[in-house]
Amino acid sequence: MTIIHNLGFPRIGAQRELKRALEGYWAGKQNAEELQQVGRDLRTRHWAVQADAGVAFVPVGDFAWYDQILEWTTLLGAVPARFAQPADRPVSLDTLFRMARGRAPSGTPAAACEMTKWFDTNYHYIVPELVPQQDYRIAREDLFDQVREAQALGYQVKPVIPGPLSWLWLGKGDAFSTGAGDVGKLTLLKNLLPVYKEVLARFKAMGVQWVQIDEPILTLDLPAQWREAFAQVYAGLAPAGLNILLATYFEALGDNLPVLKGLPVQGLHIDLVRAPAQLADVVALLRPDQVLSAGIINGRNIWRTDLDEARALLAPVKAQLGERLWLAPSCSLLHVPVDLAHEHELDAELKGWLSFATQKLDELRCLAAFLDNTADAGIQAALQAQRVSLQSRRASSRIHNAAVQRRLKGAAELSRNRAPFAQRIARQQKELGLPAYPTTTIGSFPQTSEIRALRRDWKAGAISDSAYEKAIRGEIEHVIRFQEKIGLDVLVHGEPERNDMVEYFGELLAGFAFTQNGWVQSYGSRCVKPPIIFGDVARPAPMTVAWAAYAQSLTDKPVKGMLTGPVTILQWSFVRDDQPREVICHQLALALRDEVVDLEKAGIGIIQIDEPAFREGLPLRRADWAVYLAWAVDSFRMATAGVREETQIHTHMCYSEFNDIMSAIAAMDADVITIETSRSNMELLDAFEDFRYPNDIGPGVYDIHSPNVPQIGPMVDLMRKAASRLPAERLWVNPDCGLKTRAWPETEAALLAMVQAARTLRQPA
C-alpha cells in the first residue's frame, strides 16, 4: 500500500482556539496550565484527523506556540543576550513569547526579534539572531514531550524539524551583514551540528524511525559554498541511524539537484504542484534504497485536486518505485484553512470545488488507493464525486464571464502610456497648486471601536443602509475637518467603510467568494481570511466613487481617492488555479482602471493605488523575476493610464527593499510613490538616489507602528537627509503607512507635528 504522510497541519484550530488561548494568556486572563491544555487538545485533535485519513506517521514539531522557527531557535538555546537567558536553565515559554513580541506575563520586556515573510507565503517567521561562535544546546524539552505525547496516543511519529542550513540561512546577525547567503554563517555549523546529532539520538532512543528535516532553501538560488555544505552536514547526521526525509518545497530544486546526489538521506520530498516538471530528473537521481515523497496535493491553495491527472503523473513512478513512492501535500498545510465542514454560508456548488487541510488529507487517501488499484466502493464514490465537482467547476457559467474575456483580449490595445512625467507633473502642479514639501497621509485614519461596531451592525442587518451611510459620512466629515484644521495639503476620506484593504474590494467585485472560518495563520496569534478568487473578475458598479466624491464635496483641498492595486489583491487572495496569475491580475487591473476613470469623472484629481504586496510577489528564483515584474508593472500601468495628464497617480508600498527592483518601480511610473523609510533612517532612499528615480517620492517621516508621537526636529532632519539625496522639489511629507491601528490622540499630535515639520522645511534656510 502506498504510504501517505503529511508535512505539517495548521495549529491555529478550526475556530482559532490557539489564538484565543494565546491572547487570553498574554492578557493575564488564562494561566499557563490552561494554555498548555489548549495546546494538548489541539494536537490530539489534529493527530486524530491525520490518523483517520490514514497518514502513516503523524508529524510532531509542526505545533508551535508562535512560530515553528522560533520553537526550534529556542530549542537550540539561541536566545539573544537582551533576554538574559541563564545558560544552564531551560528556555521558558515566557522567554519564547518575549522573543516573539517583546513581553510576556513574566520576565523583563525587551525588544522583540525581527519577523519576516516565510519564502513567498503570507506566513511570517521569527528571524533567528546569530552571533559568531554562538553556543547551542538542547534548551527546551517541548518537542520531545510532544513526541512522547503522540506515542502515548498510539501513533507512529515523524518529528519535523528545520534543517541546519535552512535555519542558518533564515537567521541574521550584525556580524553577518551581507544577506542571507553570507558564508560566515556556515562557521556556526561547527557548534550547531552536535546539537542536531543529539536531537536525532534522542529521537532514536524514543523509538522514532523517520525524521523529516526541512531544507526549503534547496529551492532558492544558492551560493556554491551553501550548496557544498549539504554533503558535509548530512554526512554528519547520518550516523545517528535515523531515516531522514529531506523535505523541499515551494519551487523546483533546479540547479541544486546535484546536491542530492549521494546525500546520505533515506528520502526526499519534492513539490510537484509548483514544479511538476522536476519529477523525472529527481526519480533518475534516486538511489535504490531511497524513498520519494511526492508533494502532489496543493498545500498552498484551496482547490480540489484533479486526482485523475495526479494519478496519470504518478502511475509510471509508482510502477518504477513501488513502495518507495510516498504521497503527501506539496508543503505543510499551515498555509490553508483547517476544515471546510465549518463553512455554512458557501453555496453547495462552490463548496464542492474546495478543499481545506482536512479534505486534502482525504484526497491523499483516495489518491493512494486509486494508484494502488485498491479503491473500495466508498473511495470509488469519492473519486467519482471529485470528478463531478471538477467538471462542474470547469463548465460553470459562474467562473466564465464572456464580456471580461473579450475585453481582456482587446486589452493589448488599451493605452498603458501616459505623457512624459515632466509634462504631467507641470500640469498637475498648475492644477493642484500645492506648496513645496506637500503633506498627505497614506489613507486610513483610526479605526475606532465605534466604526467597527457600525460596520458589524450594518452587515448583520441591525442598522439600515441609510443609517449606515449617514454614520460613515459623519466619520468622513470628521476626518476631513480635522485634516483641514491642521493644514494638511492633500486630504483623504479615512477609509472608515473598509474592514480590510483587499476584502473591501473583493466584496464589491464579481468573481470573489468569502469564507466564514477560512483562517490562515499570518504570524503568532494573527490570522487572515483570504478572499477566494474563483471566477473572472469584473466590477459590476463603482466601488469607492460615492465616498470619495462626498469627501471632496466637503472641502476645497484636493481629496485623494484610495484603491488597492491589482498585485496586492492577487497576492492576498486564494487565486483560481485554472488560469495563469497574470491573467487574473490583468482582470483586476481592468476593473480598477474603470474605477480610476470613474473617480476622475467624479472630480477626484489625485488617486492612490496601494501596492504593498508588489515586492512579495517576486518569484523565489531570480531567473523568474523578469516575467513577473513585466506583468505586475503592466497591470499597474493598465489600471492607471486611463486618465488625463492632470490627474495625479500615487502609489504606496510598505517597508521593502527596492534596490534590485528599481527599474520596475520606475516603470510603474506613478506620479508619486510613498514608502516606509523612517525605521531605516531613510536608508531605503539609497536605491532611489542611485537609480536617479525621476518621479515624486514621499518617504515616510514617522513610524505609524508605534504609539509614540514623533518630534518636529527629527522629522525635519529626516527630510533634510532625503533632500540631500533627491531633488527637494520631488519630495512629499507623509507618515510611513496608514493610521488605522492608531488611536486618535496620538494621531492628532503626530500629524500636527508633521505639518509643522513641513512648514519648517519650506522656510528659506
Going by the DSSP 8-state scheme, the letter that residue 162 receives in this structure is E
Q: Which of 443, 446, 506, 710 binds ligand GLN (CB under 6 A)?
A: 443
For Zn ion, the nearest residue by Cβ is: 737
Question: Which residue, 612 or 642, is less far from Zn ion as judged by CB?
Answer: 612
Of the residues 124, 400, 650, 705, which is catalytic? 705
Q: Which of 654, 661, 718, 731 binds Zn ion (CB under 5 A)?
A: 654
User: What Rg, from alpha-carbon coordinates, does the chain have?
Assistant: 27
Q: Which residues pair with 665 in a beta bridge?
A: none
Q: Which of 333, 361, 399, 737 binds Zn ion (CB under 5 A)?
A: 737
Instruction: Report how far residue 677's alpha carbon sits from residue 715's, in angstroms, rounded to the nearest whole number.
Output: 11
Q: Are 229 and 217 in contact (CB under 8 A)?
A: no
Q: Are 718 and 678 in contact (CB under 8 A)?
A: yes
- Min separation Cβ 665 and Zn ion, Å: 15
Instruction: Report how far residue 312's alpha carbon sits from residue 47's, in angstroms, rounded to the nearest whole number.
Output: 30
Q: Which of 237, 240, 357, 501 binds ligand GLN (CB under 6 A)?
A: 501
Q: Interface with Zn ion by CB under 5 A: which range of 122-130, 231-239, 250-258, 735-743?
A: 735-743
Residue among 78, 85, 39, 35 at smallest CA distance from 62: 39
Instruction: Report how far residue 683's alpha carbon sits from residue 703's, in angstroms, rounded to the nearest whole number.
Output: 14
Phi, psi of 114 (to 5 degrees): -70, 150
For ligand GLN, the nearest residue by Cβ is: 738
- Min separation Cβ 558 and ligand GLN, Å: 16
Q: Which of 129, 142, 475, 610 binds ligand GLN (CB under 6 A)?
A: 610
Q: Which of 442, 527, 590, 684 binds ligand GLN (CB under 6 A)?
A: 442
Question: Which residue, 295 or 612, is less far from ligand GLN as judged by CB?
Answer: 612
Q: Interface with Zn ion by CB under 5 A: which range of 154-162, 217-225, 542-550, 648-656?
A: 648-656
Beta strands in 193-307 (DSSP E): 210-214, 243-247, 267-271, 291-297
Question: Which residue, 297 or 589, is less far from ligand GLN as judged by CB?
Answer: 589
Q: Which does 610 bind (CB under 5 to 8 A by kind): ligand GLN, Zn ion, none?
A: ligand GLN
Question: Which residue, 534 or 572, is less far from ligand GLN as judged by CB?
Answer: 572
Question: Which residue, 265 or 653, is less far from Zn ion as judged by CB?
Answer: 653
Binding mask 710-739 for ligand GLN (x = CB under 6 A): ---------------------------xx-
Residue among 13, 75, 15 at smallest CA distance from 45: 13
Is residue 652 annotated as involved in ligand binding? yes
Strands 696-699, 672-675: pairing kind: parallel
Cell of 187: 562557521
- Min separation Cβ 498 and ligand GLN, Å: 8
Phi, psi of 338 (to 5 degrees): -75, -50
Phi, psi of 292 (to 5 degrees): -110, 120
Instruction: Report how far residue 102's alpha carbon sits from residue 108's, in angstroms, rounded to the nearest whole number.
Output: 9
Q: Is 700 in the site for ligand GLN (CB under 6 A)?
A: no
Is residue 18 annotated as involved in ligand binding? yes
Instruction: Report how far residue 664's alpha carbon sits from residue 655's, in angstroms, rounded to the nearest whole number.
Output: 16
* Residue 530 amino acid letter: P
Q: Which of 6, 444, 544, 695 binds ligand GLN (CB under 6 A)?
A: 444
Q: Interface with Zn ion by CB under 5 A: which range of 91-99, 116-124, 179-187, 611-619?
A: 611-619
Q: Which does 299 bind (CB under 5 to 8 A by kind): Zn ion, ligand GLN, none?
A: none
Q: Interface with Zn ion by CB under 5 A: which range of 149-157, 366-374, 562-570, 737-745?
A: 737-745
CA distances from 618 to 312, 429, 621 (A): 31, 34, 8
Phi, psi of 609 (to 5 degrees): -120, 105
Question: Which residue, 164 or 612, is less far from ligand GLN as judged by CB?
Answer: 612
Give the ranges where 162-240 is alpha helix by DSSP (H): 164-170, 189-205, 224-237
**Residues in 503-562 that interact with ligand GLN by CB under 6 A:** 562
Is residue 572 annotated as involved in ligand binding? yes
Instruction: Report how far residue 652's alpha carbon sits from residue 739's, in angstroms, rounded to the nearest whole number.
Output: 14
Phi, psi of 564 (to 5 degrees): -100, 135
Q: Which of 220, 740, 742, 755 binds ligand GLN (CB under 6 A)?
A: 740
Angle at which helix 307-321 crosses helix 377-395, to 10 degrees, equals 130
Q: Would you call 338 exposed, middle or buried from its count of C-beta atoms within 10 A (0-12, 13-18, 19+)?
A: buried
User: In which element (H, E) is residue 563 found?
Assistant: strand 560-564
- Min separation Cβ 410 and ligand GLN, Å: 31
Q: Is 446 in the site for ligand GLN (CB under 6 A)?
A: no
Is residue 610 annotated as involved in ligand binding? yes
HSE at residue 265, side-chain half, CA atoms within 13 A, is 28
Q: Would you call 322 exposed, middle or buried from its count of C-beta atoms within 10 A (0-12, 13-18, 19+)?
A: exposed
- Min separation Cβ 482 and ligand GLN, Å: 15
Residue 705 among the catalytic residues: yes
Q: Is 612 in the site for ligand GLN (CB under 6 A)?
A: yes
- Min separation Cβ 492 and ligand GLN, Å: 8
Question: Which residue, 171 or 565, is less far from Zn ion as judged by CB?
Answer: 565
The CA angle 427-431-436, to the nearest 5 degrees, is 85
* Residue 720 amino acid letter: R
**Residues in 617-656 that interact with ligand GLN by CB under 6 A:** 652, 654
Instruction: Report how far residue 443's alpha carbon sits from residue 418's, in angstroms, rounded to the nearest whole number.
Output: 24
Is residue 331 annotated as involved in ligand binding? no
Is residue 527 annotated as involved in ligand binding? yes
- Min separation Cβ 742 and Zn ion, Å: 13
| Cell 484533479, located at residue | 306
Instruction: Report how far residue 404's alpha carbon sits from residue 508's, in angstroms, rounded to the nearest whole number.
Output: 16
Is residue 444 annotated as involved in ligand binding? yes
Q: Which does 562 bind (CB under 5 to 8 A by kind): Zn ion, ligand GLN, none?
A: ligand GLN
Binding site for Zn ion (CB under 5 A): 612, 654, 737
Catalytic residues: 705
Q: Which residues are annotated as a binding site for Zn(2+)?
A: 652, 654, 676, 737
Q: Which residues are annotated as a binding site?
A: 16-19, 117, 122, 442-444, 495, 526-527, 572, 610, 616, 652, 654, 676, 737
Q: Which residues are annotated as a binding site for L-homocysteine?
A: 442-444, 495, 610
Binding site for ligand GLN (CB under 6 A): 442-444, 495, 501, 562, 610, 612, 652, 654, 737-738, 740
Q: Which residues are annotated as a binding site for L-methionine?
A: 442-444, 495, 610
